[in-house]
Structure 1
Amino acid sequence: MPEATANGITIHYEDHGDPGDPPILLIMGFGAQLTLWPIELVEALVAKGFRVIRYDNRDVGLSQKFDGVKAPGMLKMVIMSKIGMTPSVPYTLADMADDGIGLMTALGIERAHIVGASMGGMIAQHVAARHADRALSLTSIFSTTGNPKLPAAKPEAIKALVKRPKSTEEDVLVAHGMHLSRTIGSPAYPADEERLRDRVRENVRRSFYPEGPTRHLSAIVADGDRRAMLKDVRLPTLVLHGEDDPLVPVEGGRDTAASIPGARLKTIPGWGHDLPLELVDEVADAIADHARGAMQDA
């Protein structure tokens, strides 16, 4: 299995397409393995003439775990954030952005189109702000700015995301994962039951590590409001968001686009917080067209 030492840790990755084609770095979100980027989307981007790299963030999937490193309690972090203090956390979203840049360096990639989903979009925003010289463009998918005044996630979405399964038996974990997918997924594009079950089971067998998301969440909370950082981003930016996202409401995407100078916003009715097969072609077209435009304008 391909692994690289990046930013001082071990990162598991997959590299698809012609190494000579323009690279796209896909950054996945909270507690999510690289497999949450549908292989159909990867293949569609490769067919459009791009080299596509997807990888497991630290603390998830097959990448390095931070066993035994404790995150502060959520209540403590929220209180500290509200009074303007930055809680001490195991690592930050900026650290995770450095992981992606380190992976690019390990693969000999000088610059790439950066595409992030959910928490991965937050990480991608840090790449755009802190490593602009390594990025060709930014695509932020169903992500947000950290603006505390934005609408919150629906209670059922939060509950499904943070609730621990009742046991570690495979069937229990699969049922838990399917419930999460159904709760935050696209109301207009529900996943086929059998395909969803098979996909969740494959992910459970690939890796089950519930401690990682706790540290991911602490990094998100500690990051706070990114709007001041985003106003200085000068990369060509595309924001994609579902109009029916129950986890990160569409206002998060609108705020992201409004915070980055010149950013373009594309919203899709019926799209939730997932990447359904029915939208693969539309999402791939949007990413590819944006990347080509960025290269032409460079």
Structure 2
Amino acid sequence: MPKTTANGIEIHYEEQGDPAAPAMLLIMGFGAQLTLWPDELVEALAAQGFRVIRYDNRDVGLSQKFDGVKAPGLVKMTLLSKIGFTPKVPYTLADMADDGVGLLDALGIERAHIVGASMGGMIAQHVAARHPDRCLSLTTVFSTTGNPKLPPARPEAMKALITRPDSTEEGVLVEHGMMLARTIGSPGYPAPEDRLRERTLASVRRSFYPEGPTRHLSAIVADGDRRAMLRDIAVPTLVLHGEDDPLVPCEGGRDTAASIPGARLKTIPGWGHDLPLELVDELAGAIGEHARQSGGGEG
């Protein structure tokens, strides 16, 4: 698997498609490895004529870890944010956006279509706001604005997300991962048991690093409300969101589309906070069509 230095840290990435085709950068979410982008989705986007690049964010997967760097506790961060203070965190979503742009630099890519899922959508928003000259288009997938007035995650979804497994024994980690996937997944498109187990086992064996998500969460909380930033985004934007997302309710997608001038919104019934095989063709079609309509083609 290729690796490079981007924004001063080591980033692991994969790419598929014609190296001369327009580039599409996929940014994954909270605590999630690049492998959470289904191979089938990557292949479908590459088949549409894109150079598709997915990578492990800092502190997850095979990219550089920030061992020993402490993040403030969730309760402390939340309280500080509510009274108007920005908590001091190991790194920010803006730093993580610069990682993605640094990867484009390392690969010699001037501009790319930026696609981000969940926290990756928040990072993608920062890319579009901070580096508009590097963006051909922006697509956010089940992401949000940080607006504190939006409905929160369902309690069972948030509990599943932040609860650590009982041990580091492989079987326990796999069961825990499957529980999380089922809890936040799509009620209309439940994952087959054998596929879910196979993908979860592969993820555990590729990397298990529970400290990283703690720092990811601190970056999300510290980022606060992004609506003022989003109003200045001039990149063509598509917002995709599931109508049955238990972790980031659909209102987050609607608020994102309402906050970015000219953004288009597409919601899908039965879709939760995952990327089910049944929706690969529809999602790849929407992302690819948006990218083509946005113009620009250099890789």
The question of a shared fold, defined as TM-score above 0.5 by the shorter chain, is answered with: yes
State the shift of 1:116 in Å.
0.1
Q: Distance in 2 between matches of 1:233 and 1:51?
A: 24
- RMSD of aligned residue pairs (Cα, Å): 1.1
Tell me how far apart the structure 1 counterparts of residues 296 and 180 of structure 2 sit (CA, whole Å): 40
**Distance apart, 1:70 and its partner CA:** 0.1
Partner residue, 2:125: 125
In structure 2, the CA distance between the partners of 1:293 and 1:158, relative to structure 1 (3 Å rule), is same
Unaligned runs of 5+ in 1: none
CA distance in 2, matches of 1:79, 1:154: 20
Corresponding residue SS for 2:61 = coil
Counterpart of 2:73 in structure 1 is: 73
Aligned to 1:15: 15
1:79 to partner: Cα distance: 1.0
Q: Structure 1 residues 65, 296: closer, same or farther in 2, change over 3 A?
A: closer
Q: What SS does the corresponding residue of 1:172 show, helix, strand or coil?
A: helix
Q: Following TM superposition, where does structure 1 have runs of at least 4 consecutive aligned residues deviating by more than 6 angstroms?
A: none
1:40-64 CA-to-partner distances (Å, cap 9, x unmatched) read 0000001000000000000000000
Alpha-carbon separation, structure 2, partners of 1:75 and 1:29: 21
**1:32 to 2:32 alignment:** yes
Which residue matches 1:295?
295
Letter in 1 for 2:168: T
Matched, 1:84 2:70: no
1:51 maps to 2:51: yes
> 1:119-198 maps to which residues of 2 (within 5 A)?
119-198=119-198
Instruction: Say if 2:22 and 2:297, in contact at 8 Å, map to a contact too.
Output: no
Is residue 2:285 matched to residue 1:281?
Answer: no
Counterpart for residue 221 of structure 2: 221
**2:126 & 2:238 partners in 1: Cα distance?**
15
In the alignment, the residues of structure 1 paired with residue 296 and residue 232 of structure 2 have an alpha-carbon distance, to the nearest angstrom, of 22
Residues 136, 296 of structure 2: 8 Å contact kept: no
Distance in structure 2 (CA, Å) of the matches to 1:196 and 1:87? 37
Q: 1:2 to 1:296 in 2, by over 3 A?
A: closer
Q: Please tell me the residue identity of whatever aligns with 1:100.
A: G
Partner amino acid, structure 2, of 1:30: F
In structure 2, how many angstroms separate the alpha carbons of the residues matched to 1:7 and 1:107? Answer: 12
Number of aligned pairs? Answer: 298
Structure 2: how far apart are the matches of 1:297 and 1:119? Answer: 26
Aligned counterparts of 2:296 and 2:14: Cα–Cα separation in 1:
27
1:118 aligned partner, one-letter code = S
AA matched with 2:268? I
Partners of 1:297 and 1:90 in 2: CA distance: 36
SS at match of 1:267: strand
**1:108 matched residue in structure 2:** 108
- Within 1, Cα distance between the matches of 2:174 and 2:75? 29
Distance in structure 1 (CA, Å) of the matches to 2:102 and 2:198: 33
CA distance in 1, matches of 2:264, 2:293: 12
Q: Which runs of 5+ in 2 are unaligned?
A: none
**TM-score (norm. length: structure 1):** 0.99
Structure 2 letter corresponding to 1:33: Q
Structure 1 residue 75, shift from structure 2 partner: 1.3
The 1-side partners of 2:91 and 2:227 are apart by 21
Compute the displacement of 1:74 (Å).
1.2
Cα shift at 1:296 = 6.7
Is this contact kept in 1: 2:186–2:276, CA < 8 A? Answer: yes
Quick one: which amino acid aligns to residue 71 of structure 2?
Answer: A
Identity of aligned residues (%): 80
Distance 2:68 2:201 in 1: 26
Does structure 1 conserve the Cα–Cα contact (< 8 Å) formed by 2:184 and 2:274?
Answer: yes
2:240 maps to 240
Distance in 2 of aligned mates of 1:85 and 1:136:
34
Calculate the TM-score normalised by the size of structure 2.
0.99
Determine the structure 2 residue equivalent to 1:264: 264
After superposition, what is the alpha-carbon deviation per residue over 1:188-222, rounded to whole angstroms, capped at 9, x for unaligned?
00000001000000000000000000000000000
